[in-house]
Chain A
Amino acid sequence: MHFRPWAAAALLLLSVPAWADDRSGAKSQVEFGIKVAQSGLWKEARYRWEKAVELDPTYAQAWNNLAIAYEHEGKFDEARKAYEKALELDPKNLLIRQNYDLFKEINDRTQKRRGDR
């Protein structure tokens, strides 16, 4: 009976470095993505942010950046999903909210145009 809490603690200790590794790997992908996006290499940036969310699906900032990359490529459905994921993970982040609001404004206009066709 006494073994179980110890086992759980050991398991937790072992899993923390793995989680930390995922986040640090994702973080370096995000940082590199930002650098290349600033140089205008959006495809490379998107690839990096896709990698980041693959490594750490709970990384709200990476989802936000990925949404921006999709938006820049005109992939509105993917962008919306990525923004919504970012907001789901970090609902109080005002910068993500602001990006999403700006995106929605353009997206709504596009939807209206499609409706007009």
Chain B
Amino acid sequence: MIAPRNAAAIASLAVLCGSLACTNFYEIPIETPIQPKMDVSSFNRVLVAGFIGGGTDDVDANLETVRLLRSQLRSKSNLRVIEAEVLPLVDMARDQSKPQAVPTDAAPAGSDAPAPVPALAAPGETAKPAETAKPDEARIRGEKDLERYQGIFADVAFWKKIGEEYQNPLIVTGTVLFTPYQSNSFVTRNVESYDSLGRRIVTPVRTYMERRGFILSPNFIFIDGRTGTQLHSEKMREEILYTSQQNVPALSSYFELMDRMIPSFLSTLSTQRIRGTRVLLK
């Protein structure tokens, strides 16, 4: 058995040893650079051309995605962002699939004179769908509907033509589905209560909940404007659910979900830095 005096001596020795050891190491913050997924060193400029958007009618997925990505690339990448009209890709792809359609090579890109891209929407401002009411069969509601339009991304001549028009930039395009989603299921929630002595008690309670929300699933496609070929593609998916009491506008949900995906999108094109700490030793 160790006497209290001995125990105190051992403890103080341990503290002393600990403090002496402390002087031999130094915690230091470091930023580790992570190289981008794509080598974009041969491009100075980027054109966020437009997207095949679908899902809910409350948000124009094409227009909003173009605005957001351009704004993010302007501030967080070294590439110069080309301000150009947003391509109505759905219409273009539909025209391509028609047998009597004019060959895409002959049609100058963006000649349909779509509305120019205005500045990023102010918070709370609702986005107006760029296109007027479409016939129901032409609407894109899900992944299956998107399949009809996928061919446009493999059309090398079409993208090369667009590349030539904007002096061979890196082209960002793809598909964006923003669909309403409902989930009725049992959810475990922590319920707080206090006992007779005033102590806080947390009890997990399973409750049946009806929740509504959205799924955002974009597929970003990166095309070499010099050749019209696909360089890289990045598929993502995020979802958000709200309780029936919450009334969140679709546009807010869209931005919330996009916020989660933007770092991953940017890391495709530009160097990201991971912050951490390491220990330097003497």
For the complex, give the distance between the alpha carbons of A73 and B273 in Å: 11
CB pair A113 B282 closer than 8 Å? no
A117 interfacial by beta-carbon distance below 8 Å: yes
| CB neighbours of B37 from chain A (8 A) | 113, 116-117
Among residues 78 to 115 in chain A, which have CB atoms less than 8 Å away from a CB atom of chain B?
A: 93, 95-96, 98-99, 102-103, 106, 109-110, 113
Which segment, of B25-33, B45-53, B131-139, B187-195, faces chain A? B25-33
| CB neighbours of A27 from chain B (8 A) | 282
CB pair A117 B38 closer than 8 Å? yes
CB pair A99 B279 closer than 8 Å? yes
CB pair B34 A106 closer than 8 Å? yes
Distance (whole angstroms) from the CB of B41 to the closest CB of chain A: 14
| CB neighbours of B281 from chain A (8 A) | 30, 60-61, 64-65, 93, 95-96
Main secondary structure of the interface of A (DSSP, over half): helix
Partner of B282, one of A38, A61, A71, A73: A61
CB pair B282 A72 closer than 8 Å? no
CB pair A34 B34 closer than 8 Å? no
For the complex, give the distance between the alpha carbons of A110 and B271 in Å: 12
| CB neighbours of A37 from chain B (8 A) | 28, 280
| CB neighbours of B31 from chain A (8 A) | 72
Among residues 70 to 117 in chain B, which have CB atoms less than 8 Å away from a CB atom of chain A?
A: none
Among residues 1 to 39 in chain B, which have CB atoms less than 8 Å away from a CB atom of chain A?
A: 25-26, 28, 30-35, 37-38
CB pair B32 A106 closer than 8 Å? yes
**Chain A interfacial residues counted at CB < 8 A:** 29
Among residues 239 to 282 in chain B, which have CB atoms less than 8 Å away from a CB atom of chain A?
A: 274, 276, 278-282
A68 interfacial by beta-carbon distance below 8 Å: yes
Distance (whole angstroms) from the CB of B158 to the closest CB of chain A: 25
A22 interfacial by beta-carbon distance below 8 Å: no
Among residues 23 to 71 in chain A, which have CB atoms less than 8 Å away from a CB atom of chain B?
A: 27, 30-31, 33-34, 37-38, 60-61, 64-65, 68, 71
For the complex, give the distance between the alpha carbons of A31 and B279 in Å: 13
| CB neighbours of A96 from chain B (8 A) | 281
Query: Which residue of chain A has the shortest Cβ distance to B277 in the bound complex?
Result: A102
B232 interfacial by beta-carbon distance below 8 Å: yes
Distance (whole angstroms) from the CB of A8 to the closest CB of chain B: 33
Query: Which residue of chain A has the shortest Cβ distance to B24 in the bound complex?
Result: A61
| CB neighbours of B38 from chain A (8 A) | 117
* Further 12 A-B residue pairs, CB within 8 A, beyond A34-B282, A64-B279, A106-B32: A31-B282, A33-B280, A38-B28, A61-B282, A64-B280, A68-B28, A74-B32, A95-B25, A99-B279, A106-B34, A106-B274, A113-B34
Pairs of residues from A and B, 3 with the lowest C-beta to C-beta distance, nearest first = A61-B281, A74-B33, A68-B278
